[in-house]
Chains A and B, each alone.
Chain A
């Protein structure tokens, strides 16, 4: 199975690899997946006082599509409000990266990671976590 050019681009030059200070109340961290399943994503957002995501970082253990999905997610997150970030749908990632059906779970994981990061940020700042649908896989 050949990877799309966009997957290869994100895989070869991943954007926003790194770590934010997870103890900061401005930082939300989402850690999703499991080593047993072959993919783990950690996605972090830094949010300013206006609820805008000013920085996003990721690290991913997984296949090329998982790495590309999380790299793309960090690109999309930067500059978005937290509310808009919540609206990112895994199918947007599938479309952008032209993921084949067997790789859709990678995009689902990225969406889960975004939501987990946002909820971590909310809880840290005294807000209720947003109820999430059970992971689709």
Chain B
């Protein structure tokens, strides 16, 4: 077992050696520009890209013609939201999303607002899921797009995308999903789920950083997005720029492996995750954040009340995890995702996200449990809030000096 242990697989994943192996020839030997249509080098590169396009499409039940390669999920989110708004603005100017979305979606929506669009940011229920009735009530004749993520990056909850898509379609709107955390981890099928646009990223599924894709539906309906970058008209005119051939080949291979191993991996990881979660929630005053029945198999977000997340992570320096606390940010604001579940600020400050992955072993999970328990106990001994809790003092009865 190597220390420190990596349990931050929602931030990024290590690349699978099989992916690296597939990529290597495309740096030095098969280095051609996939857009060079008139010689061998171009054809070889194009072949690699075409094959990757099939691999990506297969994982999400799409046709290869529906895959647009990008630099990652942030670009895919931007292209989808801004591109749909520009393309369909004559039809309507209203977009619906949710408060727990990734910043790439939220900030793209804010950009749309600056361009004169209207955006509804749906609240979520206490378990992190979108309320379908609230969604339906927000739909108008002007609504052109509903953008709701598949699986949440902080708490791992899986949204009822199929139902959300059905509501969007009922009102003539398109449905887009940021599926960055879900693709490759759980079955995602654009047709079964009714998805019109989908963003995904390679580095969240053991592929390289800097490459991703946007799925854009071609049939029923044929969806178009306005390009956000001008240039050579690559990717059916939707995304110009010389293709990142090695990266794309890596993304393809990552998708292929994920497709083959997803079922067994999901079982293995959810068992490990549940083991970790049960062992840690034995600790007094610890709470799992988000819906536990509709959740990605590899994530557990747990708040340890009366200890502060960043201080806790420091005591867990043998583990690479992340916290909803933001003591370092100028605003001192804790995670907006946790806050939108209705968590009080102090519970949000006390949260730790454990993100397991393909290379996580049971031995590592057991060690993580020990380290975390020790750290929580240590910090509670230092915590005045814990002492007050133990003495039965209601913390809400104290007049805190907000600073």
Contacts and interface: CB of A to CB of B under 8 A. Distances in A.
A26 interface: no
Contacts, number: 103
B387 A63 contact: no
Given A3-B314, A14-B382, A61-B385, A38 B400 contact: no
A61 B384 contact: yes
A31 B314 contact: no
Given A37-B345, A59-B384, A64 B311 contact: yes
B328 A59 contact: no
B328 A1 contact: yes
Interface size class of B (residues with CB under 8 A): 20 to 34
A42 interface: yes
A109 B403 contact: yes
B402 interface: yes
A40 interface: yes
Interface string A60-71: 111111110000
A35 B381 contact: no
B395 to A, nearest CB: 6
B282 interface: no
Contacts of B395: 35
A31 B98 CA distance: 38
Contacts of B329: 102
B401 A135 contact: yes
A34 B327 CA distance: 13
B278 interface: no
Contacts of A103: 327-328
B382 A67 contact: yes
A36 B346 contact: yes
Given A34-B401, A38-B349, A63 B310 contact: yes
B344 interface: yes
Q: Which interface residue of A35, A37, A42, A137 has the most chain B CB atoms within 10 A?
A: A35
Nearest to A38: B349
A99 to B, nearest CB: 11
A38 B308 CA distance: 6
Interface of A: 1, 3, 11, 14, 17, 19, 31-42, 59-67, 102-103, 105, 109, 112, 135, 137
Interface of B: 306-311, 314-315, 325-330, 332, 334, 344-346, 349, 381-387, 395, 398, 400-403
10 closest Cβ contacts across the A-B interface?
A: A34-B400, A35-B346, A36-B345, A42-B384, A63-B310, A59-B384, A64-B314, A63-B327, A38-B349, A61-B383
